[in-house]
Amino acid sequence: MNSASPNDPDGSASAMSGRETITRKQAVQGYTGYSCIGLYNPKGPENVGAIMRAAGCYGVNTVFYTGTRYERASSFRTDTKQVHLQLPLIGVDDLQQVIPFGCVPVAIEVHPDAQPLTEYRHPERAFYIFGPEDGGLKKNVTSWCKDIVYIPTHGCMNLAATVSVVLYDRMLKAGR
């Protein structure tokens, strides 16, 4: 399909160059959105390293974290695939202030208002928020999340395993 432009009303320049001009609708056809991760005060580098690896495997765009505990131990990271070289890992003061435009904040937390992951329909653009290994998300975090989701298990899961399960569920339900 050749498309005319103001400088080339009949589209002949596009035809001669062999390039096609497409509409925005055509460009985003088949687009499946994106996801980002927010880690609220993660404790250890082992989990953050494993989260970075999972984020790379499942196509996450950015990982944000708050707190200083991870920074003190980051030199011991377990990101064996060096995903941090391709995927931003960014320390921030407040996860609410970095919600990517158009993303739905989703708290992953055992909470009275949470819905089970097995029944959850992931938003096209999601910002998944996870609490620390040794605690949960505070009310001041869950209060600004549009959705709260929990993983039905018989016990408490490791942070990196929780992130992996949520990202796998997102991919599975998207049909990728």
- pLDDT of the residue at 18: 64
In a domain, 79, yes or no: yes
pLDDT tens digit string along 131-140? 998 889 999 9
Token code pair at residue 110: 């055992």
Q: Which domain holds residue 55?
A: 33-174
Average pLDDT of the chain is 83
- pLDDT of the residue at 153: 93
Listing DSSP states for 127-138 in one string gives: EEEE--TTS---
In a domain, 20, yes or no: no
Q: How far is CA 77 from CA 50, 53, 70, 84, in A?
A: 9, 11, 9, 10
How many CB atoms lie under 10 A from the CB of residue 76? 11
Amino acid letter, 79:
D
pLDDT tens digit string along 78-108? 556 667 678 888 999 999 999 999 999 999 9
What stretches of 61-110 show up as alpha helix (H) in DSSP?
Answer: 69-73
Report helix angle 159-174 to 45-57, nearest 10.
Answer: 10
The number of domains in the chain is 1
In a domain, 10, yes or no: no
Give the dihedral of Cα atoms 77, 59, 61, 165; nearest 10 deg: -70
Domain of 108: which CATH number?
A: 3.40.1280.10
In a domain, 54, yes or no: yes
